[in-house]
Chains A and B, each alone.
Chain A
Amino acid sequence: AQSVTQPDIHITVSEGASLELRCNYSYGATPYLFWYVQSPGQGLQLLLKYFSGDTLVQGIKGFEAEFKRSQSSFNLRKPSVHWSDAAEYFCAVGAGGTYKYIFGTGTRLKVLA
């Protein structure tokens, strides 16, 4: 069965520091992988997605993620965090070509000035 694990519930970084949010998934075939961001009081916005091809994908707001099949991971990274990046981040996995998606429980990012 599909599953998604985000092991870090909360992460705090200083503004300007680098960021890595972890996501591990369980799925039998090559999954569709997504990262979403939820700012306070807002809906979820798609940051980036991976379907196939280049395992390093670029998204909006300067984020990138790397698909590592051997580790079943799809970690989100940003080289220099801005205060406006404070939000909750969700990883999601989908069965390729279907509409079934599973979301992780989220990682809340706090940015220190």
Chain B
Amino acid sequence: EAQVTQNPRYLITVTGKKLTVTCSQNMNHEYMSWYRQDPGLGLRQIYYSMNVEVTDKGDVPEGYKVSRKEKRNFPLILESPSPNQTSLYFCASMDRGRGYTFGSGTRLTVV
């Protein structure tokens, strides 16, 4: 089944404790992206990757890092999480212009 897999689904952490949210896709898509979803703000793009070793900032990149060492994986790294990063995070991948396939989301709470 074609899918984007994110882990974990739920995560509660403390301020400043580094964390990684993993994302993997099995569709051989070149393009992958991370979004955060907040009430009233819709989806905002954090980072995206056009291909292996090619990443770029989206609209809200502050406080996040990403890497793309393999085509299928695109982890999101929070080096020092803060409470304002409490949000619902989605990883997505796509073929050019064909629309996204989204993961099921990761609900992160930073206390």
By a beta-carbon cutoff of 8 Å, the part of chain A in contact with chain B is: 9, 32, 34, 36, 41-46, 49, 51, 90, 94, 96-99, 101, 103-106
Contacts and interface: CB of A to CB of B under 8 A. Distances in A.
Nearest to A43: B102
A40 B42 CA distance: 15
Interface string B31-57: 101010000111101001010000000
A42 B102 CA distance: 9
Interface stretch (B61-69, B70-78, B89-97): B89-97
Given A42-B104, A45-B102, A99-B50, A106 B42 contact: yes
B31 A99 contact: yes
B103 interface: yes
B51 to A, nearest CB: 11
A43 B104 contact: yes
B58 to A, nearest CB: 9
B94 A90 contact: no
B99 A34 contact: yes
B96 A43 contact: no
A43 B42 contact: no
B105 A42 contact: yes
Contacts of B45: 101
B103 A90 contact: no
Given A97-B97, A99-B50, A44 B42 contact: no
